[in-house]
Amino acid sequence: MGAVEPAVGGWNAVVEPRCLPASDPLAAATGPTNMVVFDTEALGEVTIVGPGAGREATGHALVADLLAIHRSSPEGAG
């Protein structure tokens, strides 16, 4: 789950796994589904749902990101 909130001089953003109550709109996501919930002054919560990349594309991207992190670290550069 991620959250973005205004902060002094910019924004605070967090992405982390979280347990959600079954009543949360994000808890309804199944399979390769992307969801985002906006909390607005005019409309309250607005949820947008769409297809995600799927298991294989996500797994490939995760491995590629981990390799890039390792290669950019002092221990992995050599």
Q: Which alpha helices (DSSP H) does the chain contain, by range?
A: 55-72
User: Residues of the chain with pLDDT > 70: what percent?
Assistant: 96
What local confidence, expressed as pLDDT, does residue 67 receive? 92
Domain spans in the chain, listed from the N-terminal domain onward: 30-78
Condensed to tens digits (0 to 9), the pLDDT of residues 17-32 reads 889 899 988 888 888 8
pTM of the model: 0.54
Q: What six digits make up the tokens of 44?
A: 């309250």
Other beta carbons within 10 Å of 52: 14
Sign of the CA dihedral with 49 first, then 51, 53, and 56 last: positive
N-to-C CA span, the chain: 34
What local confidence, expressed as pLDDT, does residue 76 receive? 65
What local confidence, expressed as pLDDT, does residue 77 receive? 60
